[in-house]
Structure 1
């Protein structure tokens, strides 16, 4: 982590919603999801907010050796957004507690505020994280045999 990783970092990320990011595309294996309206899916909205947070802080960490993973999300999804509208995600780093990063997040679709809330990320060392995942997979495969 660099010394510049401090509260107050802001970032705005714009994204035009394609049909591939609507509710039916979230889990195409689910007949229930496939039957839902073609509006921006909450799952993809969460991913967009995470993406904006990642973009905000990557210049302030030793990317790609250091990365961040989402550890908590508490957001509303207040309005439906049809495909073709541009969503603007605005994020602000509000606290740095060791390797834990806390963000205020908001999204707007040009008509309505569609989301507000809070997101936490944790700075990881990519190599150590991959090693721990490898251990987990080895432990899981031996218990399944």
Structure 2
């Protein structure tokens, strides 16, 4: 089995607690439950919300990567708390809460124009891009 984590490594540049990232999108039919199952409602799907949160977490850490380093998702703990329909603008934010060696935990939230629609944590780890591609 390929080992693609950098042995005992943190990101080359120190990442300050509180480092932030964000990602935004407008809900389209392809982001809804209806796109996956026509009998379901045309509301923003949980997998799409999680994808946007993961993207925000990536953006929080990526500026601290150098050379061959990237971060990848390792865990999620998310609550989807409210529905958003087609046309809603969704903004996900991620804030670095803690780290342990190469593992980083970020607090994530997602909001539409009216309210928070989701929250939780996302875990990410530093990996070597080259070693990952050999897998």
The normalised TM-score by structure 2 is 0.86
Residues 6, 96 of structure 1: 8 Å contact kept: no
* 1:58 equivalent in alignment to 2:62: yes
* Alignment counterpart, residue 4 of structure 1, candidates 14, 35, 42: 14
Task: Point out where structure 2 has 5 or more consecutive residues left out of the alignment.
Answer: 1-10
Residues 5, 61 of structure 1: 8 Å contact kept: no
Task: Give the count of matched residue pairs.
Answer: 125
Task: Point out where structure 1 has 5 or more consecutive residues left out of the alignment.
Answer: 28-32, 134-145
Superposition CA RMSD, Å: 1.4
The aligned counterpart of 2:89 is: 86
The aligned counterpart of 2:78 is: 75
Max Rg structure: 1
| Equivalent-residue separation in structure 2 for 1:13 and 1:95 (angstroms) | 21
Q: Report how far residue 23 of structure 1 moved.
A: 1.2
Q: Report the structure, 1 or 2, having the larger strand content.
A: 2
| Equivalent-residue separation in structure 2 for 1:12 and 1:51 (angstroms) | 7
| Equivalent-residue separation in structure 2 for 1:6 and 1:129 (angstroms) | 26
SS at match of 2:80: coil
| Equivalent-residue separation in structure 2 for 1:129 and 1:14 (angstroms) | 27
Q: Report the structure, 1 or 2, having the larger helix content.
A: 1
| Equivalent-residue separation in structure 2 for 1:103 and 1:24 (angstroms) | 30
Taking CA–CA contacts closer than 8 Å with sequence separation of 6 or more, which of the two structures ends up with the larger relative contact order?
Answer: 2
The aligned counterpart of 1:14 is: 24
| Equivalent-residue separation in structure 1 for 2:100 and 2:73 (angstroms) | 15
